[in-house]
Chains A and B, each alone.
Chain A
C-alpha cells in the first residue's frame, strides 16, 4: 500500500483520508498510521503546492547555477553544500555527476538580485572555483505536470 499511497499523494496531497482509504481498499485508520510513519521516517518531507507563478502578478526570476567546488577532506561536498542551501533564496541544491559539482536552483524577485547573490555570496565562498548561471525563461513542465495546457477528451462520447 505504501508505494501506491505515495504515488497518489505525490499528485494530490489535499486528498482526504476517507477517500484515500477507498482508493487503496484499506481502512481509514491504516491510512492515518501509514502517513504518520511516513512523516516520521522522513519519507514525506512536506506537502507543497505547485504554483504557476507566471499567471500571477508576482514577479519571480529563477536561475540554475552550475557550481564547481573543491571538496574538503573528510566532509566531501557536504560542508559547502550546507553553506549554500542555508540561504533561503536557494530552492534546491543537488550534487551532480559530470562537468560540475553542485546544481543550485535560485529564486529571486529580480535579475539583479540573482546577479548579486552569485557575485557577492556564492563566488566568494572559499571552496567555490567557478559558477555558470542559466536563467529560466519558461516552464513547460514542472513536477510531472504540464503547465499552460488544457486537457481535452478526444474520444467519441459512446463506444462499444
Chain B
C-alpha cells in the first residue's frame, strides 16, 4: 500500500500537552491545575435558553454567517465594550469556537510562502493552523522581562517583505500577559507602515484585572486590517457549546464565510440561541466570575511571594506563569517530578513554544480550596528541591 498521508500533516508536531495528559489520567487522586477552561458552570439562564431552543424545535441549520439576531447582539456587545462598530450584515461571522475562526481566517488570506508572525508562548493552534494554510510561521520569543508583551523592536526584527499576518494573542494563554493601549499603539504604527494584517485573538478579553481590555481594532486605521476573534467559551463559561466569532472587513468576512460554508455549514443552532441570551443578560455573570478569578489570582501571587518563587504579575486570562529556572530542571522535568511526588498536574511552559522553557502554566480556573492544597504541595516540593 502507498503512504496515503499528507506530508504537511505528518510533519506537524502533536500538542505537547498530550503526553503529559496520559500520565495524569492514570494517576488516582491527582489535583489538576492544568485545565484551560472555566470551572464555573454555564449560568443557568443561558443553559435554560438552550433548552428552550430545543423545545421550540430550533433544531435546523442557521444561515452560514449565524443567526442575524446573534450577529446584532455581537455587534452591540463589541460596541459597548470596545467601542468598535461592526456591521452585523457583512462584518461578523459566527464560528465553531474561536479556534475555527483562527483556522479559516488564516486560510482566507494565506498564499503559499506568506509569513505569519506568531509571538510565543501562546495558544497551541496558531502554528499548525498557519502551516496547514500553507504559510511559513515566524516565531517571536517573548521575554519575561517585558512581562511577555510584544515590543515594537521584536516585531520589527521579525518582519520581512513576505510578512502578511501578525497574530496578537492577548490577553494571553499561557502567560496571562496583557497589552495596554500604549503597547498596542506602537504595534499598530508598525503594522500600518508595513501593511500587515492583524489577527487579534481576544477570547479572554472579558477577563482582565487592571484596565478594561482594549482591542487593537479600536485604534485608528486598524479596523480595516484586523481580524478580531472572540467567543463565548471563556467569558461565559461555555467551552462545550463550541461558539465563537470573527469580525473583520466585509471583503475578508466574505471569503472566510465561503470556507465556513463548505467546511462547517453553520455553528450549532442551540448554542447560538443560548449565546443571544448570554450577550443580552450575561454581563453580571461575567463580572461575578471575573471577580472570583481576580481573588484567586491575588491568592496565587501572594503564595508565590511567600515561597519566594519568581513570577511577574499577570493581569489577564486565568493563568499565572511562574519561573522555575532556579531549580536547574527543564519545565517538563519539573512538571513530571511534581506530578509524581506531589500529585499536582501543571502544564510545562514548553507546551506553548520553546521559549516557555523554564516556566510553568498554572491555571486558576479552580476553587480556592483546590488552589490552597496545590500551593501547599508546591511549597513542600520546592523546599525539598532547595534543600538538596
Contacts and interface: CB of A to CB of B under 8 A. Distances in A.
Binding partners A and B: yes
Given A22-B298, A158-B345, A4 B291 contact: yes
Contacts of B132: none
Contact of B298 (A23, A155, A157, A158): A23
Contacts of A25: 298
Contacts of B24: 157-158
A157 B30 contact: yes
B17 A158 contact: yes
Interface in B1-28: 15, 17, 20-21, 24-25
7 contacts: A8-B295, A23-B295, A24-B298, A155-B35, A157-B24, A159-B34, A160-B15
A160 B124 contact: yes
A156 B36 CA distance: 10
Contact of A160 (B17, B25, B291, B295): B17
Give the interface size bracket for B toward A.
20 to 34
A24 B302 CA distance: 11
Nearest to A23: B295
A7 B287 CA distance: 13
Nearest to B174: A160
Contacts of A160: 15, 17, 36, 123-125, 173, 351
Contact of B20 (A7, A153, A156, A158): A158
B345 A159 contact: no
Contact of B35 (A4, A7, A23, A159): A159
B347 interface: yes
Interface of B: 15, 17, 20-21, 24-25, 30, 32, 34-37, 39, 123-125, 173, 291, 295, 298-299, 302, 345, 347, 351, 368
Contacts of B173: 160
Given A4-B295, A155-B35, A160-B125, 12 more contacts: A22-B302, A23-B298, A25-B298, A155-B37, A156-B35, A157-B21, A157-B30, A157-B345, A158-B24, A159-B34, A160-B17, A160-B351
Give the interface size bracket for A toward B.
10 to 19
Nearest to B18: A158
B41 to A, nearest CB: 9
B32 A158 contact: yes
B17 A23 contact: no
A23 B298 CA distance: 6
Which of A7, A22, A158, A159 has most chain B Cβ within 10 Å? Answer: A158
A145 to B, nearest CB: 14
A85 to B, nearest CB: 33
B297 to A, nearest CB: 9
Interface in A1-35: 4, 7-8, 19, 22-25
Nearest to A22: B302
B291 to A, nearest CB: 6
A62 to B, nearest CB: 26
A140 B169 CA distance: 43
A33 B291 CA distance: 22
Contacts of B21: 156-158
Nearest to A18: B302
Contacts of B299: 19, 22-23
Contacts of A24: 295, 298
A22 to B, nearest CB: 5
Interface string A110-129: 00000000000000000000
Nearest to B295: A23
